[in-house]
Amino acid sequence: MSVESDYHRIRSPVLRDWIHSGNEKGSETYTPVGILACQRDPLLRQLDATVVASVVSSPPAPAKGKNAKKAVLAPTIPQGAVCLEVLLNDTVIFPEGGGQPSDTGIITTQDGTVWNVLQAKRHGGQAIHYVRVHDGNVDSALQKFSPGAQVKVELDQAGFDRRYDHMTLHTSQHLLSALLETRLNLPTLSWSLTSYPSPCYVEIPRGMTVQEISMIQEEANRFVFEGRKIHVEVEELAAENRKPVEKTETGRAIGRGLPEDYTGGVNRVVIIDGVDRNPCCGTHLPSLNNLQIFILPHTDALSRSSTTVARLNFLTGPRLIAHLASSHNHLTSTAAILSCGTPQVPERVQQVVDDRKSGTKRIEDVELELAKYIAADLSQDVQGTDGLFKKHVHRTDDSATALTFLTAISSAFSDALNKSGTEAPYLIVLSSSPSAQLPTNTNVVFILGSDDKRVKEVGDALKSKLGVKGGGKGLKWSGKFVGIWKNGKDDLLVEEILNSVV
């Protein structure tokens, strides 16, 4: 493999001596992060390498508190897995960095044993491979990975598919960020390479209009179809290259600077011909042609304390193909359900939505009318009773708005009593349960009365004896419990509670 090529250009001759091939048996030197084989040739899948060092990996301490939700599910080491930390003189497995997750791959030792590389990380300027010891024989593994041992490190098919997905999206982000900044003066505050197959995104200081999105998308696609070339330039990292991270007027950082613990000594710049020039340690395609096409599905507004930013989503390469295939399948399935052609789906869906709204309105009107009839009967019963009127009314209701209907009965009952002018005391329990006898059923209870103390007394009793969770204030109380409403038994329990109130 060539140390220097049209893609990988070395601007500082001294860096050529920092690149160490697998033929240097017994060498204790290693190629630093920044000029690794995976960074010099991102399409290279395997490499003969020499082990420089290996130690047993100490598992990290469990994180305290709640784990922060991450947009990307990076490769992790399973709990209890035994691993070696292996340093090679060079590698095709990219260690995480620059917003790009770690590659995964395999290493084959001289005896033909294949070892899984669960992840790779950058320690200072070293690319460390976390190699799983499957049989738990650490001593044997250390012997096979002893310094000077010859191995083959490679990206298997799953590892290369993962790398290619990451490369297409990382390169797309560079293109997108360059166009946003040069055409709209919108700096990229951060970006996230999400887990496949979700869209990735960049965060920018404000939202974008449909016209702006269309313009950026069209220009990005133009560069893709032109096949703009990409190359990398590397030189020694001088002090002046460690520039402070720029910030917006609100103080938010724009992008990222070099990590504080980066000691590789290599300054690496990725150039898209005529479009962008940006420091980056990630792997990038040699041409925009490899992106195939570029789209921006939508934007989301995000509030961050004192400032508001926008999240601009994008898809390209394998993820775009998966997205289009999934969208097409959803569309054709929906068309089949609606018994129409795919072009008619939006119109037919709108018709279904309108019909549902109309149907819901009719149901609400009918329920309100029914609630008035039930309330009128209860009102007449109250007027025809001497002393405290007590009654339990149970209904079977499979709707998701059962409590709303009981509330409507309560309101209609109050109106009916006001119109009748009666001041007779009353205590009524309304309950409702689904028709199916399932332990996951949600049953609702509504109490209304003329005395708040009696209402509270019944509510407290339902809590303790029936397990109802709820509360209320004044003359009304509502609650619910999950389980089966046992006809007869639970009805009798409510009657007993009512009868105990004086």
> How open is the CA angle 462-465-467, to the nearest 5 degrees?
70
Q: At 96, which CATH number?
A: 2.40.30.130
Pair (304, 381) in one structural domain: no
For 360-378, give the DSSP string. HHHHHHHHHHHHHHHHHHH
- 230: Cβ–Cβ under 8 A, 6 or more apart, which residues? 7, 171, 270, 271, 272, 273, 284, 285, 286, 287, 288
Whether the Cβ atoms of residue 233 and residue 204 lie closer than 8 Å to each other: no
Q: Could you tell me if residue 220 is inside a domain?
A: yes
Q: How far apart are CA 399 and CA 316, in angstroms?
A: 44
Per-position pLDDT tens, the chain of length 502: 567 899 999 999 889 888 887 655 555 789 999 999 999 999 999 999 999 999 999 876 655 554 544 555 678 888 888 999 999 999 999 998 767 899 999 999 999 999 999 999 999 889 999 999 988 899 999 999 999 999 999 999 999 999 999 999 999 999 999 999 999 999 999 999 998 899 999 999 988 988 999 999 999 999 999 999 999 999 998 765 555 545 444 444 444 555 665 666 899 999 999 999 999 999 999 999 878 778 877 677 776 555 678 999 999 999 999 999 999 999 999 999 999 999 999 999 999 999 999 998 998 899 899 999 999 999 999 988 888 999 999 999 998 889 999 999 999 999 998 888 888 899 999 999 999 889 999 999 999 999 999 999 999 999 999 999 999 889 999 999 999 998 888 999 999 999 999 8
Report the pLDDT value the prediction gives residue 3, as an integer from 0 to 100: 76
Q: Could you tell me if residue 349 is inside a domain?
A: no
Report the pLDDT value the prediction gives residue 473, as an integer from 0 to 100: 87
Pair (422, 441) in one structural domain: yes
Q: Could you tell me if residue 134 is inside a domain?
A: yes
Rama region for 265: left / alpha / beta (φ>0; ψ in -120 to 50; rest): left
Report the pLDDT value the prediction gives residue 248, as an integer from 0 to 100: 45
Pair (197, 230) in one structural domain: yes
Q: Could you tell me if residue 112 is inside a domain?
A: yes
Name the pTM for this structure: 0.74
Pair (238, 385) in one structural domain: no
Q: How far apart are CA 119 and CA 104, in angstroms?
A: 5
Sheet holding 266-272, edge to edge: 8-10, 230-236, 266-272, 276-279
Q: Could you tell me if residue 2 is inside a domain?
A: no
Pair (197, 151) in one structural domain: no
* Structural domain count, the chain: 3
Q: How far apart are CA 375 and CA 334, in angstroms?
A: 43
The structure tokens 């491979």 sit at 129
Kindly provide the residue ranges of all beta strands, DSSP E only, lying in 20-70, ordered along the sequence.
46-56
Q: Could you tell me if residue 459 is inside a domain?
A: yes
Final residue before a domain boundary, out of 337, 367, 392: 337
Pair (170, 295) in one structural domain: yes
Final residue before a domain boundary, out of 305, 337, 369: 337
Q: How far apart are CA 199 and CA 196, in angstroms?
A: 8
Whether the Cβ atoms of residue 186 and residue 204 lie closer than 8 Å to each other: yes
Pair (268, 325) in one structural domain: yes
Report the pLDDT value the prediction gives residue 62, as an integer from 0 to 100: 59
Report the pLDDT value the prediction gives residue 253, as an integer from 0 to 100: 43
Tokens (6 digits) for 250 = 């609100």
Pair (145, 32) in one structural domain: yes
Pair (448, 474) in one structural domain: yes
Tokens (6 digits) for 296 = 């921006």
Pair (481, 389) in one structural domain: yes
Q: Could you tell me if residue 347 is inside a domain?
A: no
Q: Could you tell me if residue 113 is inside a domain?
A: yes
Domain that holds residue 436: 354-499
Q: How far apart are CA 447 and CA 449, in angstroms?
A: 7
Q: How far apart are CA 32 and CA 129, in angstroms?
A: 14
Final residue before a domain boundary, out of 138, 155, 172: 155
Pair (183, 325) in one structural domain: yes
Q: At 279, which CATH number?
A: 3.30.980.10
Whether the Cβ atoms of residue 237 and residue 35 lie closer than 8 Å to each other: no
Pair (300, 432) in one structural domain: no
